[in-house]
Amino acid sequence: MWKTILRRVLIMIPELIILSVLVFLMAKAMPGDPFTGQINPKDSLTQIHHLMRINGLYDPWYEQYWHWVVHLFHGDLGTSYEYQEPVTRIIAQRAGNTLWLALLTMILTYVIALPLGIYAGRHEGHLQDTLVRIYTYATMSVPFFVVLVLGSWIFGYGLNWFPTSGSVSPTASGFLPVLLSRLGHMILPAVLGALFATSSITQYLRSGIIDAKHSDYVMTAQSKGVPMKAIYKHHIFRNALLPIAAFAGYSITGLLGGSIFVEQIFSYPGMGLLFLNAINYRDYTVITALVLLYGFLNLMGTLLSDIALSAIDPRVRVK
């Protein structure tokens, strides 16, 4: 197992190098640059050229790439053109917001989805199952942003139950008030996000349980007189979790990805908005850093999923 993990980690190195070159080239290939359209009546082309020059944007791409790599190995991902701050600092600021919101969303998602999936699977064909399926189909068919806009409109602006902007109240000070304020700001987007995200997990789990329920080994156990509770615990549930485990790694590493919809609608400064703005404003340093980070997280996600799968399913381990 450890050998496999080590091998996978080593393979990640050339993958990340290739990704970084591709990302760097693609970012440069986009029309425009960080100063495109950023002209005002006081500026002149001379000043724009001056800024391009001192930022090294006229250098050949391979020189720019080399400078970037050298700085990367010194822990410096460059300075954002838009925010005029080190990229590492900006990512650290945004990653915190995104991580906490995504974590709460994920916890809520599993807290809602697991019982729903199990319940529906156990009561296959009954009214309870039908209700759960209606719920999952409804959340699957309604666009996410519609749920968010409606939720914000009803619970945020209409009923005034939740804050609608930012990650913390400007007036909160002190550890506990800040913590509670942060939680208060996260609850509405997290609940809405979770209600939306539960559908696929519920469906996977429900199908897994139904499949396992009708499998030969369950029938054998039943015929041997093993109580249903034990069958569910030791056979059905464990097998039904396999498809969910396959996504677990991605879910964990995907926590840092951020959601552009959530962040835009709730003015929540996270990684999703950062990435979108970086692309719009050709903030090359931020684009390359984020794509590299996401690439790394994806590779890690695959690895974690494989580890989780092998932990649950001994057949995977053997292979």
Partner 1 sequence: MSKYKKWLAAGAVMLSAGLFAACSSSQSQVKSGYKPSVKLSQTYDNPNKTSSTYNNGTLKVAEFNNSPFAGITDPVLQSNAEDQDMFDPGGNDQLFFVNSKNEIVNGGLANLSLDKKAKTATVTVRNNAKWSNGMPVTAKDVEYAYEVLGNKNSNSQQFSPDMQDIQGMAAYHAGKASSISGITMPKGPKGKVAVLHFTTFAPSLKYSGNSVMWDSVEPYEYEKNVPIAKLSSSNQVRKNPIFTGPYKLSKMVDGESTSWVPNKYYFGKKPQIQHINIQVVSEDDFAASLKSKKFDFPITNGQSSEYPNVKNLSDYTIVGKEGTGYDYFGFNLGHLDTKTQTSVMDPNAKMGNVKLRQAMMYALDQGALVKKFDYGMGWFPNTLISPYFKQYYNSKTPYYKYNMSKAEKLLDQAGYKKHGKWRTQPNGKPLTINFGAMQATSSQTAEYNYYLQQWHKLGLNVQYAGGKPMEMNKFYDTLEKPKQSQMDIFAGAFGVNAEPTPTGIYGADASFNMGHFVTKKNTQLMDNMNNDKAWNNSYRVKQFKDWQTYMAQQAAYVPTSMTMNWTPVNHRVKGYSVASDDNEFWSNLALTASNPK
What residues form DSSP beta bridges with 79? Answer: 86
Residue 173 binds partner 1, judged by CB under 8 A: yes
Residue 41 binds partner 1, judged by CB under 8 A: yes
Residue 152 binds partner 1, judged by CB under 8 A: yes
Q: Which is nearer to partner 1, 78 or 249 (CB)?
A: 78
Q: Which is nearer to partner 1, 11 or 150 (CB)?
A: 150
Binding mask 63-82 for partner 1 (x = CB under 8 A): ----------------x--x
Q: Which is nearer to partner 1, 170 or 225 (CB)?
A: 170
Q: Which stretch binds partner 1 (CB under 8 A): 51-59, 212-220, 236-244, 251-259?
A: 51-59
Q: Which is nearer to partner 1, 62 or 157 (CB)?
A: 157
Beta-carbon neighbour count of residue 183 at 10 Å? 13
Nearest of 136, 106, 83, 134 to residue 269 by alpha carbon: 83
Q: Which is nearer to partner 1, 50 or 233 (CB)?
A: 50
Interface with partner 1 (CB under 8 A), residue total 55
d(CA 262, CA 87): 22
Q: Provide the Cα torsion 215, 216, 220, 223; round to 10°.
A: 70
Q: Which residue of 1, 2, 3, 40 would you call a contact of partner 1, by CB under 8 A?
A: 40
Supply 212's token pair.
């396992």
Q: Which is nearer to partner 1, 1 or 159 (CB)?
A: 159
Burial of 245 per CB tally in 10 Å (0-12, 13-18, 19+): buried
d(CA 40, CA 244): 53
Residue 52 binds partner 1, judged by CB under 8 A: no
* Gyration radius (Cα) of the chain, Å: 24
Angle at CA of residue 71, ends 6 and 10, nearest 5°: 10
Nearest of 259, 7, 277, 209 to residue 109 by alpha carbon: 259
Q: What residue ranges bind partner 1 (CB under 8 A)?
A: 30-33, 35-48, 50-51, 54-55, 79, 82-86, 89, 93-94, 149, 152-153, 157-158, 160, 164-168, 170-171, 173, 264-267, 269, 273, 277, 280-282
